[in-house]
């Protein structure tokens, strides 16, 4: 069994990680790291698509493998620290198990995306041919890359599942624990990467859009990946990233809100325990305390200058609003930066 907690960004998924760390049955893997590797750009899902679903002769698989290798090269120091030095070696062994042939040749995609390269090759070919014809000496002025053939590789899912399992095992300190991972599943379509995990369960966390808007706009100064230049842009973004297919297996996907964990703590904890079949809450409220986190809600009430924008969100995202108790606590402005970590 593998438990993953994922959110859409600033939704409070860390609170659920903290809650689950209080149970005897679980252990947090890859500490202080979000394991988005299965579905990030050029990650496992892209590899699966280009090798298995739309390989289109050899070109898509070749480009996907090259990009995957760049991804693991870029991330090797970060993830080696979290896997006892095993990430890079396990990744290379995994990708080598999928490659059917490798050879040196010019990669057309690299050439097409580089105008300078195209002009250079057109110019140099004329003189290269003349020189080789006159001297019979081959010249290598045109760049060649390692190319890869991998089309419908055998046992892709089994090898990918083994790779993920090996990464998880490299982070474990207890054999009998349930691995707990941050952000291993895309929140809008978690089941797309379920085949890469052994017995996966996903907890998908969301949050009232009014608070997310203010975290992104004010605490994070127009918030990295969330558009807040206009409230209309934010509403379009918020709704778009939450489009998902109806969950095919509700036994494996639980959708919850940050506010429910704060305001309906006992009920939400019970729901999670039943979903994961866990019960040994040995460190209750050691890492997550709803009495403290309640101040990380309803921050819009402290920002009257955002009144028009908040009303626009309330009108256009009605179905995503949380119904707060009448006498609930609201946050102070000075706490907004603390809220941003949620």
Rounded to whole angstroms, the Cα distance separating 19 from 276 reads: 13
Domains in the chain: ranges and CATH: 2-29+172-339 (3.40.50.300), 107-143 (no CATH)
The one-digit pLDDT tens for each residue of the chain (342 residues) are: 999 999 999 999 999 999 999 999 999 999 889 999 999 999 999 999 999 998 888 888 999 999 999 999 999 999 999 999 999 999 999 999 999 999 887 666 554 556 665 666 666 666 666 666 667 666 565 567 789 999 999 999 999 999 999 999 999 999 889 999 999 999 999 999 999 999 999 999 999 999 999 999 987 765 578 999 999 999 999 999 998 766 566 789 999 999 999 999 999 999 999 999 999 999 999 999 999 999 889 999 989 999 999 999 999 999 999 999 866 655 555 555 455 444
CB 203 within 8 A of CB 247: no
The pair phi, psi for residue 75, each rounded to 5°, is: -100, 0
The pair phi, psi for residue 231, each rounded to 5°, is: -65, -30
Give 305's contacts (C-beta < 8 A, 6+ positions apart): none
The pTM for the full model equals: 0.86
């Amino acid at each position: 069994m593998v438990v993953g907690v994922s959110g859409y960004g600033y939704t409070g998924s860390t609170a659920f990680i903290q809650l689950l760390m209080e149970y005897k049955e679980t252990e947090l893997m890859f500490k202080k790291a979000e394991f988005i590797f299965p579905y990030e750009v050029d990650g496992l899902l892209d590899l699966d698509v280009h090798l298995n679903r739309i390989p289109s002769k050899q070109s898509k698989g070749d480009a996907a493998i090259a990009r995957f290798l760049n991804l693991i090269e870029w991330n090797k120091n970060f993830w080696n620290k979290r896997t006892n030095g095993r990430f890079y070696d396990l990744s290379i062994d995994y990708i080598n198990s999928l490659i059917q042939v490798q050879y040196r040749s010019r990669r057309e995609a690299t050439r097409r995306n580089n105008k300078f390269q195209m002009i250079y090759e057109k110019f140099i070919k004329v003189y290269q041919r003349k020189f080789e014809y006159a001297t019979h000496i081959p010249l290598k002025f045109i760049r060649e890359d390692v190319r890869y053939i991998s089309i419908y590789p055998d046992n892709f899912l089994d090898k990918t599942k083994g790779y993920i399992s090996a990464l998880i095992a490299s982070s474990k300190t207890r054999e009998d624990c349930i691995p707990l991972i941050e952000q291993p599943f895309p929140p809008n379509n978690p089941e797309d990467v379920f085949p890469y995990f052994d017995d996966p369960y996903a907890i998908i966390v969301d949050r009232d859009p009014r608070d997310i808007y203010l975290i992104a706009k004010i605490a994070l100064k127009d918030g990295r990946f969330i558009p807040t230049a206009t409230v209309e842009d934010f509403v379009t973004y918020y709704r778009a990233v939450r489009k998902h297919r109806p969950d095919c297996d509700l036994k494996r996907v639980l959708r919850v809100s940050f506010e429910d964990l704060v305001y309906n703590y006992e009920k939400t904890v019970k729901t999670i325990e039943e979903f994961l079949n866990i019960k040994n809450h040995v460190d209750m409220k050691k890492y997550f305390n709803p009495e403290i986190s309640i101040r990380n809600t309803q921050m819009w009430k402290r920002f009257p200058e955002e009144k028009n924008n908040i009303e626009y969100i309330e009108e256009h995202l009605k179905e995503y609003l949380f119904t707060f108790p009448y006498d609930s606590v609201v946050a102070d402005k000075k706490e907004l930066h603390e809220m941003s970590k949620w």
